[in-house]
Amino acid sequence: MLRSRQLPPTVALKTPRYPAIPLLSVLCIPRQPPLPSSELVTSPLFRGFDRKNKLIKFAEFAKNSIKLIHCNYALPIMNPNRRTAKPQPVSGEAAMNDLIDFAELKAAGLLPSPTRDTLELMQLCQSGDDDTGPLLDRIADVPALDYAVRALAGQNGREGTLAEALNTVGAFPTSQLALALDLLHQHRRGACADFNYTRYWSHAFAMACAAQALTSEMPVASGPELFCQGLLAGIGSLGLANARPRSYAKLLRDCREAPVSTLLRRESALYGYSHLSMGAALLRSWRLGHIYSDAVLCQEAPHMATDRHTRHLARLLQLASCMAGLYLAQPGERKALVAEMAATSSRLQLDTRVLLDIVDVANGNWRQWCNALDLQEHLPLAMQTAPVATIPTTAAAAA
C-alpha cells in the first residue's frame, strides 16, 4: 500500500530544466531498501549520508536545487521522457573499506607513531626546563640522535660537548630529530610491496639537507629547524603505506608514470586523505605546530596557504623536494627535474648561480647522512663510499 505525505496536492517542484513536477507524484512512491553505501558514495547527487544508511540529508540535489530532508531511500528525479541509464559497476577504488578514519587507525597503532621512550624524550625537549641534564642523558643513550644533534650543530667528530650542540640546535628541533630517527628505526621495511622504504628515507634526508642549505637565501627559520621540517615533510606517504599497504601498492603501480597531481587526486578519492593531508594530520597529532603542518599540506600549491609565513615555508619545502628528487633521479629523468627546479626557483627570485651552489652543498651533506645511517642503496655508485661503521638508530641496537 502506498503511503503519501500530508502535503497540498498543488505544491510542485520547479527547476530550470524540467517542467513542474507534482510533489505528491514524487513522494507517493513505495518505500525502497537503502542503496548500498558504495553506490551512495560514488553518486555525484548526494552530499552526505550516515554509516547505517538510516538517514540521508540532502543539502542540495544536483543542479536543480531540490531540497529533500529525512528520506531513507535514494530518490532520482529526472526528465520522465528520458530513459534511465543502467547503473555503472562501482570500482574497487570507491570501496568504503579503504576510506581512512584517522583516529581509529591511530588508536589501533596502524599509523607511524613514536615509541614510549621517544615520547618521553620529546616531552623533555618541549618542557622548557632549564636543567638539561636529564635530556642530555637521554640523548647520549641514543647514538643516532647524539650523532644527529652534533652534526646539525656543525661539530666535526666530537670536538665539542653535547651540551653545546644542544644549545646550538635547540630543544624543539631535537625533539623532531628524535621522532624522525625513531620512525626510521621502525620503518626501514614494511608491508607495502611497491613502496620503497629505503628510497623514501633517502629522499627525506635529501629534502632535509636541501631545506637546511636554503636557509641562507630563504631565512624562514633556523637551519636545524628547517632540516627537521624537511625531514618529516613527506611522512604522509609512509602513513598511507602503513595504513593501506595492499591498495596503496596498487595505486603506486598505477601512478608510477603519472604526475604528482594525479597521485594526490587518486589518493584523496580512495582514502579521503592524500599523502599531503595525511602528513599534515600526523604532524598535528604530534603537536609540531600548525604553521608547519599547513605548509606541508600546501607544499605542492604554496599559493593556497593563507598565512604569509606558511606560504614562504611551503615554497621552501617545494623547492627542497625538487632538489631531493634531482639527487635520486636516473640520468634520463634529470633534465625535466632541472627544468622544474629552475621554474620553482625563478618564482622565488633566486639567482641561478646561487641555487647551483646550494645544490652542491646540500648534495655533500646528504651523502654524509646516507653513509652514516646506512641509506646508501639509492646513492649513485660514484657517490657511494667504502663500507663504514654505521650509527645504530637506538640504544638497544648499539648494545
Q: Is residue 341 in some structural domain?
A: yes
- Give the pLDDT score at 158: 60
Task: State how beta strands 12-13 and 21-22 pair.
Answer: antiparallel
- Give the pLDDT score at 165: 92
- Give the pLDDT score at 282: 96
Q: Is residue 291 in some structural domain?
A: yes
Q: Is residue 129 in some structural domain?
A: no
Phi-psi region of 178 (alpha: psi -120 to 50; beta: other; left: phi over 0): alpha
**Do 34 and 107 reside in the same domain of the chain?**
no
Specify the number of domains making up the chain: 2
**Do 296 and 341 reside in the same domain of the chain?**
yes
**Do 243 and 385 reside in the same domain of the chain?**
yes
**Do 69 and 106 reside in the same domain of the chain?**
no
**Do 200 and 305 reside in the same domain of the chain?**
yes
- Give the pLDDT score at 378: 55
Q: Is residue 206 in some structural domain?
A: yes
Reference 316, options 350, 285, 339, 282; nearest CA is 350
CA distances from 261 to 183, 192, 258, 265, 301 (A): 27, 21, 8, 6, 10
Q: Which residues of the chain have pLDDT under 50?
A: 1-95, 381-390, 392, 394-399
**Do 305 and 282 reside in the same domain of the chain?**
yes
- Give the pLDDT score at 297: 94
**Do 308 and 373 reside in the same domain of the chain?**
yes
Q: Is residue 175 in some structural domain?
A: no
Phi-psi region of 40 (alpha: psi -120 to 50; beta: other; left: phi over 0): alpha
- Give the pLDDT score at 374: 87
DSSP single-letter state for residue 21: E
The CATH number of residue 297's host domain is 1.10.3210.10
**Do 236 and 363 reside in the same domain of the chain?**
yes
Buried b (16+ CB within 10 A) or exposed e, 271-291: bebbbbbbbbbbbbebebeeb
pTM above 0.75, yes or no: no
| Single residue among 32, 56, 90 that ends a domain in this structure | 90
Buried b (16+ CB within 10 A) or exposed e, 208-222: bbbbbbbbebbebbb
Interatomic CA distance for residues 91 and 183, integer angstroms: 34
- Give the pLDDT score at 272: 93
**Do 210 and 333 reside in the same domain of the chain?**
yes
The residue segments making up the domain with residue 17 are 11-90
